[in-house]
Amino acid sequence: MLPELWVRALEMPALSVTTPYTLRINLARLLRTASPAEAAIIAGLRSDIPASAFLSAYQIAMRAVDPALPPEQWACLCVSEKGLRSLSEMETSIEAGAVSGRKSHAMLAMDGIDWLYVIARSTSGLICQRVSAKAEGVSPHPAKPGQPVIPELPHHVVDFTASPVDSAYLAEDAHQCINKPFRYHEDVMVLLAFAGWVLRVSEAHPGHQRLIECMRALADGYRISAAGYDKSQLDAFDALIEELLQISLPEKLQQTWHRDRQLLLMGKKARDIIRSRLA
């Protein structure tokens, strides 16, 4: 059976990236009243399309980057640079309280994001600081070509020209403390939210008891303070993704789901490496 909170979520109107203000205030309420994993599931249960579930899940995961990020505000983590093979080659830098350089992958940077959390070089090594999306010297423009999955949430290239950082946030050793852990938090939140969306649109909740059990197992083991996967979380993740990919959806949704669920498979190589190390 579904938990009562899940049932109530299914009875409520769907939330959508096409109405971002409504999505923002509802997600803020969730962030205040539910644990991160529960918030991701309920956000998925209330989403109209996978993109809406992904956006909510991503914002929940950003609270692992900055627990003090206000619930009403949205943010994205800026790490990628075109042609970057190793973080040691990163060209974006933060000096004297300002960031300069280019990041190739920033979700909704042209509209909707409040803060850009930028990982960059500094005299003390890689650090992460945040920049207002409206700060002087921040210049986003469309990435070309657009991403093949979740096109409703365009990612952008962002140029920073001596853009002032917010001195209230600073994370040292940013690869180990921010970048690596974030991949775990994003993976888990997105998978839980996608599973919630599948439950909403599949219209056969009693027949998906195994899926529900897998969702609860992954959610119960999740901790926002975790630095990454342990073996039990990795097992729970793999069990849920295997179950999720077996469920058939209404024909009108199959093309969208087949396209967007590729997000769940992109990190498989990295998870296989983690599993081999844990073994």
Instruction: Transcribe 128-190 into DSSP letters.
Output: EEEEETTSTTEEEEE-SSPPSS-TTS-EEEEEEEEEEPEEEEEESSHIIIIIHHHHHHHHHHH
Average pLDDT per consecutive 10 residues, the chain (279 residues; last block may be shorter): 90 96 97 97 98 97 97 96 84 96 90 95 96 96 86 93 97 95 96 97 81 96 93 96 92 94 90 89
Q: Are 193 and 44 in contact (CB under 8 A)?
A: yes
CA 89, 111, 194, 61 torsion-angle sign: positive
Q: Which CATH superfamily is domain 75-173 in?
A: Butyryl-CoA Dehydrogenase, subunit A, domain 2 (2.40.110.10)
Q: Are 211 and 195 in contact (CB under 8 A)?
A: yes
Quote the pLDDT of residue 5: 92
Quote the pLDDT of residue 206: 67
Quote the pLDDT of residue 207: 75
Quote the pLDDT of residue 204: 67
Quote the pLDDT of residue 111: 86
The closest alpha carbon to 266, from 116, 119, 54, 90, belongs to: 54
Domain ranges of the chain: 14-65+177-278, 75-173
Q: Are 161 and 137 in contact (CB under 8 A)?
A: yes
Q: How many C-beta neighbours within 10 Å does residue 183 have?
A: 18
